[in-house]
Chain A
């Protein structure tokens, strides 16, 4: 049990390869590595790649970044594919989301939605909780 707890958290950071705005996710990649996590960073062409890589890499957490569009399609697909494959992974989101949609995303099964002004400590807390 103790051994389990000490296991290094592994996180997949994923962003569509169409979206240039990578300042946030690259910053988070560094912060999470500094916090002792193992980080895998991918640029995906279609969102089906996200659940696949999550399984292959056996990650504990997925972080997806969106500049603004795309999440409304990608997030339900990723959650559904993870469910189908029986993989329990926490999904957190970062980027620009209309704040009135955040409750909906949380209801869908997302564990946290963060924006450019979120203190990184808050993100780490959500990931490690």
Chain B
């Protein structure tokens, strides 16, 4: 069903002609062709003719298939958006203090729901050693403990973190791509200790084992990484109604250089791959796909970002219906919790980043995202200071409370430009998906490094355009005032590392080490079985890992076994 009559299109063509005549007469020579951040050519003005092939059914009312205009039946004003910024530094005690400060000034899971439905969120970025499975006393951890996030190793850390907090009212997320199994197993054992039934727990599982297609710090090669996703998904499908089981991230590829079109195509390819792997272990897409969630990149090109989110929603709905035969509406809706792009923040005049983040957060809201993740402006200098974390929270709050933006769903729906750009991104991403197929499919493109090479080419193009001044970054390559700030910056005290080493060693000294060793031996057996007898062994690692945490193992010990058996020649310690 076309949206414009022939008469409207004729009139549109006529007025465009007049407009062209007028502008070319007044401007003299044509200007350089404008492009989006991702390189899509744009025109100075858009009209009905740019979306004449778009049918009403492509952009029906929000909440309807194919969800171009989002999933919402109610505006944000009614049920809010999730406030997803991470907070994490030093020890779990340090992190808790920061979180509680932000909670006192309004940080909740859902903005606008502070009184009606009080839920909290803990989006915890772990420090690098904890993410990589090194306890604080491992040689690899030197100089890194608690510096880029929260150091997490033993059950004592969780005691300090959660004591007195209502676990059933707090959504947990551990940012740790390869550390999901140990972190969540430890959390389950902690909940058990507190007497909180597992079915009341709320968490997002990042499940990013496949991340080596866009950078090279992954712990597991593709042939094993592909098993870990279904393992974790199958475990959390039963008995955890509030668990979202897998993240489909476009953020990290975006930071590695992906254009919006690449981000859409590559993340859809990833999601389809995970789905296929889960089908192989006997799972039904309609059971697990509704529990996927997105984590997209946000660019400073506001309209392109909005169009990207819209295009991806529409493509997701069609693919999961047509390719996988999904019947549940929830399978066709990938809830999206995007993050503002860290690589778009700059060290020079860092306060300007407050403005950049606000624009990106605005794009997330205009795109109908399910969550807003506004980063701290000093993210490119150090881990966030309290003041910067407060400003990030205020960014979300000002958007919600002061701008009236929350009153209308998909306010840009029907914009000639935005709809045209949405169509264009969908068309280009579809073409790219076909190319992945032609190149032998997702796994092949991952293992051969093709994805990586595509991203690094774009990263290079981006950086060169800044160096050449073709892409302006205010205060950096234009109107640079050359006054780098040397005033003292926020950092986590090096003392934290010493304290953390003492803590983990004291923890190991007080436990029944024979019991821990026996539990870790059982874990090693289960992981070896996973390695050698897949897919029939699916579902056997997580229960044994939970037992290992009941026997007081540490994060480093549990992940060390996974890396030793499935990783790139990890040798472990102690």
Contact = CB atoms under 8 A, between A and B. Distances in A.
**Chain B associates with chain A:** yes
Interface of A: 16-23, 26-27, 30, 43, 45-46, 67-74, 96, 98-100, 102-103, 115-117, 119-121
B158 interface: no
Contacts of A99: 347, 381, 484-486, 489
A43 B459 CA distance: 20
B343 interface: yes
B141 to A, nearest CB: 9
A119 B482 CA distance: 13
B136 interface: no
B213 to A, nearest CB: 12
24 contacts: A16-B128, A18-B129, A18-B217, A19-B128, A20-B211, A20-B215, A20-B217, A20-B252, A23-B256, A43-B216, A43-B217, A68-B148, A68-B382, A69-B127, A69-B144, A70-B144, A73-B143, A96-B381, A98-B489, A98-B491, A99-B347, A99-B486, A116-B347, A117-B473
A73 to B, nearest CB: 3
Nearest to B456: A26
B142 to A, nearest CB: 4
Contact of B139 (A46, A96, A98): A46
Interface range, B side: 35 or more
Given A20-B217, A27-B460, A117-B476, A100 B143 contact: no
Contacts of B211: 20
B557 interface: no
B217 A17 contact: yes
B216 A22 contact: yes
A22 B147 CA distance: 18
Contacts of B485: 99
A96 B380 contact: yes
A74 B139 CA distance: 11
B463 interface: yes
B357 interface: no
A26 B459 CA distance: 10
B250 interface: no
Contacts of B148: 67-69
Given A17-B217, A18-B217, A99-B486, A116 B128 contact: no
